[in-house]
C-alpha cells in the first residue's frame, strides 16, 4: 500500500515586523461577530507596554476585553482548570487572543475548546479526544520556540504523575496567526537560547521521524536553514530584527514540521525533566539533543547528512557518517555558545533518579514511536547519564 499522509494547518497567517498593529482590523478574518474577547497574556507583555497597546486597539474597535495573566509558565492541569473556571467561562467571550510564549498559546487553545466541550480537561488529554470545534482564536507568539501557534497540540503538566502530557486535536488550530518579530526583541538571552534550540529540535526530530514525509521535510529543512543561520546572531545581538524574524519563521516552520511528522525521543526524554525537576522545555530539549542524535546516528545517517547540509555545516561530498558527526558537533557548539546548562545536577537530578525517569520517558509512546531507533530502558538511562558528567 502506498504511504499516505495528511496535513492540516491554520487558516490565516500574517508575518511581518509591526504586524501586531493590524490585530483589530484582521479580526474580520474570524468570520464571526466579535464584541467580547479574552486576551491571554504574560506579565512580560505588560512590562513592555504590549498589553496596553493591544487593549487600546481593541477598545477603539468597540471590542470589550477581559485580560488575564494568571496562566503559569508551563501550566499544570489544575492551573488551566482554575483559570478557566474563575476567569474564562464567566466572561463568555466570542473569541480568544493569546500573546505570549508557548505556555500562554497552549492555555488559550485549551480554553477555546473547553468553552465548547462540556467535559473536564482531563478527559481531553491524548489524541483526538476533543469532539467539538472551539471558539475562534488569534495566536501571537512572543518566543521563537514552540511553534504552538501552528500546531494542533497543547501541553500541560501533571504534577501528581510528574509528567507533561499533550492534548492533540485539529480543533486546537487557530483561525489567525500574527508573527511579529518586534515582539521577540525583548526576549532575555537564556530564553532566546532555550526556545531557539527547542524550535531546532522540532525540525530535526520531525526530519528523522518515522513519520517524516514530503510535507514535513520541506518545512523541517527550511526551518533548520533559517535557525542555524540566525540563532547565534539573535542571541548575541537581541535587537537584530532580521535574525529575530528568521528565528520566528524558523520556529513556525518547525511547528508545521512537527504537525506533519511529530517529534521523537528528545521530547519524550524531556517530559520527565520538566514534569519532576522543572527544567524548562527548551533547556531540557537543548541539553538532550546532541546525545540523542549521537545515539540515533547509525539508524538515520543519510537524513542527518541532509540536515547538516541544510544547516551549511557539511558538504554534499562528505560521507553520511562524517556529515552526521559534523551536525552533532555543531549542535554541541551551539549549546556551549548559547550557555545552555550542561549538568542536570543543577536541577536536583542525581543517579538515583535515572531509573524512574527512564520509565516515565518510555511511557511517552506517542513520541517514542516516531524515533528512528527504539530505545531500551537501559539506553534511556544512559542518555540521561550523559547529562551527569
Ligand atoms: N503546543 C505545542 O506544539 C508545543 C510545542 C513545544 C512546547 N510547548 C510548550 O510550550 C511551553 C513553553 O513555551 P515557551 O518556551 O515559548 O516559553 P513560555 O511561554 O513558558 O515563556 C517563558 C518565559 O519567557 C517570557 N517571555 C515570553 N515572551 C517574551 C518576550 N517577548 N520578552 C520577554 N519575555 C518573554 C515569559 O514571560 C516566560 O517567563 C511548555 O509548556 C511546552 O511544553 C508546546
Ligand atoms: Fe518542543
Pocket test for ligand 1, best of 101, 186, 187 (most atoms within 8 A of CB): 101
Residues of the chain with CATH 3.40.50.1970: 12-184
> pLDDT band for position 1 (50/70/90)?
very low
Mean pLDDT of 21-40: 97
Contact 340, 193 (CB under 8 A): yes
Mean pLDDT of 124-140: 97
Contact 184, 48 (CB under 8 A): no
Cell 473536564 -> residue: 120
For the segment 199-231, what is each residue's pLDDT rounded down to a tens digit? Answer: 999 999 999 999 999 999 999 999 999 999 999
What is the grid cell recorded at 17? 515586523
Report the C-alpha gap between 79 and 96 in whole angstroms: 18
Pocket lining: 281 vs ligand 1, CB cutoff 6 Å:
yes
Residues of the chain with CATH 1.20.1090.10: 189-385
Task: Tell me the β-bridge partners of 100.
Answer: 141
> pLDDT band for position 387 (50/70/90)?
very high
- What residue's CA is closest to ligand 1, atom 9? 102
Kindly tell me if the per-residue pLDDT of 172 is higher than 70: yes
pLDDT the model gives residue 159: 80
The Å distance, Cα 2 to ligand 2 centre, comes to 30
Is the C-alpha dihedral spanning 314, 320, 326, 330 positive or negative? Answer: positive
Contact 282, 195 (CB under 8 A): yes
The pTM score is 0.96
What's the gap between Cα 30 and its chain centre?
Answer: 24
What is the grid cell recorded at 64? 470589550
For the chain, the average pLDDT equals 96
The Å distance, Cα 105 to ligand 1 centre, comes to 8
pLDDT the model gives residue 268: 96
Pocket lining: 282 vs ligand 1, CB cutoff 6 Å:
yes
Assigned superfamily of 189-385 = Dehydroquinate synthase-like - alpha domain (1.20.1090.10)
Question: Quick one: which atom of ligand 1 is closest to the CA of 151?
Answer: 3
pLDDT the model gives residue 36: 98
- Ligand at minimal distance from the CA of 181 is 1
User: Among 87, 164, 83, which Cα is nearest to 125's?
Assistant: 164
**Fold observed for domain 12-184:** Rossmann fold (3.40.50)
Ion ligand 2: residue ranges with CB closer than 5 A = 198
* Residues listed for the chain: 389
For the segment 280-310, what is each residue's pLDDT rounded down to a tens digit? Answer: 999 999 999 999 999 999 999 999 999 999 9
Kindly tell me if the per-residue pLDDT of 243 is higher than 70: yes
Kindly tell me if the per-residue pLDDT of 173 is higher than 80: yes
The Å distance, Cα 143 to ligand 1 centre, comes to 6
Contact 20, 63 (CB under 8 A): no
What is the grid cell recorded at 44? 512580560
- Ligand at minimal distance from the CA of 106 is 1
Pocket test for ligand 1, best of 69, 75, 127, 143 (most atoms within 8 A of CB): 143
Percent pLDDT > 90 in the chain is 95
Pocket lining: 51 vs ligand 1, CB cutoff 6 Å:
no
Kindly tell me if the per-residue pLDDT of 242 is higher than 80: yes
pLDDT the model gives residue 205: 98
Mean pLDDT of 264-288: 95
Pocket test for ligand 1, best of 239, 281, 282, 367 (most atoms within 8 A of CB): 281
- Ligand at minimal distance from the CA of 151 is 1
For the segment 111-123, what is each residue's pLDDT rounded down to a tens digit? Answer: 999 999 999 999 9
Amino acid at each position: 500500500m502506498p504511504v499516505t499522509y495528511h496535513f492540516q494547518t491554520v487558516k490565516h497567517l500574517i508575518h511581518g515586523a509591526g504586524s501586531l498593529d493590524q490585530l483589530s482590523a484582521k479580526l474580520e478574518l474570524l468570520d464571526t461577530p466579535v464584541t467580547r474577547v479574552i486576551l491571554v497574556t504574560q506579565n512580560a507583555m505588560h512590562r513592555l507596554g504590549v498589553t496596553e497597546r493591544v487593549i487600546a486597539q481593541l477598545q477603539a474597535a468597540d471590542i470589550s476585553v477581559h485580560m488575564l495573566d494568571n496562566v503559569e509558565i508551563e501550566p499544570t492541569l489544575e492551573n488551566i482548570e482554575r483559570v478557566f473556571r474563575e476567569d474564562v467561562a464567566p466572561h463568555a467571550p466570542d473569541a480568544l487572543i493569546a500573546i505570549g510564549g508557548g505556555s500562554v498559546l497552549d492555555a488559550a487553545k485549551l480554553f477555546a475548546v473547553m468553552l465548547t466541550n462540556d467535559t473536564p480537561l482531563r478527559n481531553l488529554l491524548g489524541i483526538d479526544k476533543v469532539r467539538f470545534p472551539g471558539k475562534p482564536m488569534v495566536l501571537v507568539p512572543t518566543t521563537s520556540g514552540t511553534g504552538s501557534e501552528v500546531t494542533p497540540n497543547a501541553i500541560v503538566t501533571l504534577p501528581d504523575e510528574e509528567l507533561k502530557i499533550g492534548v492533540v486535536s485539529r480543533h486546537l488550530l487557530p483561525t489567525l496567526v500574527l508573527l511579529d518579530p518586534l515582539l521577540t526583541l525583548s526576549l532575555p538571552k537564556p530564553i532566546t537560547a532555550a526556545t531557539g534550540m527547542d524550535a531546532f529540535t522540532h525540525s530535526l526530530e520531525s526530519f528523522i521521524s518515522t513519520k517524516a514525509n514530503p510535507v514535513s521535510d520541506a518545512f523541517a529543512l527550511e526551518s533548520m536553514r533559517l535557525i542555524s543561520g540566525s540563532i547565534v546572531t539573535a542571541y548575541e545581538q537581541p535587537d537584530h530584527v532580521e535574525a529575530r524574524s528568521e528565528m520566528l519563521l524558523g520556529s513556525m516552520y518547525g511547528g508545521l514540521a512537527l504537525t506533519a511528522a511529530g517529534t521523537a525521543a528528545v521530547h519524550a526524554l524531556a517530559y520527565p525533566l520538566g514534569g519532576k525537576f522543572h527544567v524548562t522545555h527548551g533547556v531540557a530539549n537543548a541539553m538532550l539533543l546532541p546525545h540523542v542524535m549521537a545515539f540515533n546516528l547509525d539508524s538515520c545517517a543519510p537524513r542527518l547528512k541532509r540536515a547538516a547540509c541544510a544547516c551549511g555545516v557539511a558538504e554534499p561530498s562528505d560521507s553520511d557518517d562524517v556529515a552526521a558527526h559534523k551536525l552533532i558537533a555543531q549542535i554541541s557548539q551551539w549549546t556551549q555558545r548559547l550557555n545552555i546548562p550542561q549538568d542536570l545536577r543543577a536541577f536536583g537530578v542525581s543517579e538515583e533518579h535515572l531509573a524512574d525517569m527512564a520509565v516515565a520517558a518510555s511511557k511517552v509512546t506517542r513520541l517514542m514511536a516516531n524515533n528512528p531507533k527504539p530505545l531500551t530502558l537501559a539506553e534511556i538511562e544512559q542518555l540521561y547519564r550523559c547529562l551527569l558528567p
